[in-house]
Amino acid sequence: MDSNGVTLDDCGIAELAAAVSTLSNSVQNATMAQFSDEDVVALMQQLEACKRQLAALDTRLIIEAGERSLHARSGAGKMVPFLRHTLGLSRYDAALRVKVTHHCGEFFEPSGHLRPATLPVTAEAFAAGDISRDHVRNIMDVMDHLPTDIPTEARAEAEEILVSYSREGWPDDLPKIGRDILARLDPDGKVVSDADRRRRRGITLCRPGVDGMSRIEGWITPELRACLDAVFAKLARPGMCNVEDAESPTASGGFIADSVLDAAARRDRRDAGQRTHDALMALVQPGVNMRALGMHRGLPVEVVLTMSLTDLENGTGVATTNTGTQISINEALKMAEGTTR
């Protein structure tokens, strides 16, 4: 029963859907000339809260569908394809709704006990309309990145901080807040293990779009990031490996005179992302010797690591590359030996 004394027993599905449709049609078709600027802003905010509450209902409905085995009985097999077929969703949207359900839903255990939500504070704020699904998505991502062995109290506090910010802040800021939280939890790089990082590693080449272009996404380890930073510092600099310039120096071109590179840089109209793409393309070309990339700004094209003598002797802490990437001492020593196995 809600605050108005209405229960699902008092109305059917048709009545529930009609109520939502009536509200939507009223706003969509009515004139708003009589409303002040403040009224329009207030209406936008109130409707946003309503839309968030409706989005949070997906969790309840997905759990209900799962308990009734609707996805299995429909022939879809799993929940994501069931939602795609039933609701006409993209794979991403359906997968996100299922993931939100796993984090924010309450499930019955085989024993009959109700298992609380994995992220209870997030679930409560989402159901109240205080935060959006985008907030929830970013909160889940931050929480999934926290080390598995941090204390339960610290994990709960991290969720509280993220949700508190989300009530007034933007979803896009949450990854940075997550990094700040992790820095406080693990200032010396001792809590986040190399196993945690390896567990999350992975690169996905998404399906080609209509124009044949493919999006790439994923997470790379600090070791791979350090190696790429060193290579891109040379191959992705202005003038290098420009696929639109036949006279641009390439990765396998040997010694490059400063005058040649400067002239190519003046002709270069690519942005940073395009230069990185072309540098990666150059790396996979036949004949490129990664160990013969020469010098960049007077230094060999290789990873430069800085660490304290104390951390080195203790075998704990982090090493820092010249671009600011932090690597555990253990992995840094492996890189120094010429292996990252």
What is the pLDDT confidence band of residue 3, given thresholds at 50, 70 and 90? very low
Helix orientation angle between 37-67 and 79-87, rounded to the nearest 10 degrees: 130
Give 244-261 pLDDT, tens digit per residue.
998 898 877 566 788 888
The more confidently predicted of residues 292 and 111 is 111
Whether the predicted pLDDT of 324 surpasses 70: no
Task: Calculate the alpha carbon distances from 42 to 28, 48, 49, 53 in Å.
Answer: 16, 10, 11, 17
Whether the predicted pLDDT of 268 surpasses 60: yes
- The pLDDT score that the predictor gives to residue 338 is 56
- The pLDDT score that the predictor gives to residue 200 is 83
Give 66-86 pLDDT, tens digit per residue.
999 999 999 999 999 999 999
Rounded average pLDDT over 172-176 = 92
The region of weakest confidence among 92-96, 140-144, 274-278, 310-314 is 310-314
In percent, how much of the chain has pLDDT > 90? Answer: 41
- The pLDDT score that the predictor gives to residue 101 is 97
Considering the entire predicted model, what is its pTM?
Answer: 0.63
What is the pLDDT confidence band of residue 127, given thresholds at 50, 70 and 90? very high
Note whether 220 and 203 are within 8 A (CB): yes
The more confidently predicted of residues 208 and 242 is 242
The more confidently predicted of residues 339 and 67 is 67
The residues, any chain, with a CB within 8 Å of residue 265's CB and separated by 6 or more, are 237, 238, 239
Whether the predicted pLDDT of 339 surpasses 50: no
Rounded average pLDDT over 288-309 = 58
Whether the predicted pLDDT of 130 surpasses 50: yes
Whether the predicted pLDDT of 43 surpasses 90: no
User: Dihedral of CA 269/272/274/278: which sign?
Assistant: positive
What is the pLDDT confidence band of residue 121, given thresholds at 50, 70 and 90? very high
Mean per-residue pLDDT over the chain, rounded = 83
Rounded average pLDDT over 129-149 = 91
Greatest mean pLDDT range, 39-48, 130-139, 328-337: 130-139
R_g over Cα of the chain: 26
- The pLDDT score that the predictor gives to residue 71 is 93
Where does the chain show beta strands of DSSP type E?
107-108, 114-115, 202-208, 214-219, 295-296, 299-300, 305-306, 318-321, 326-328
- The pLDDT score that the predictor gives to residue 298 is 47
- The pLDDT score that the predictor gives to residue 7 is 58
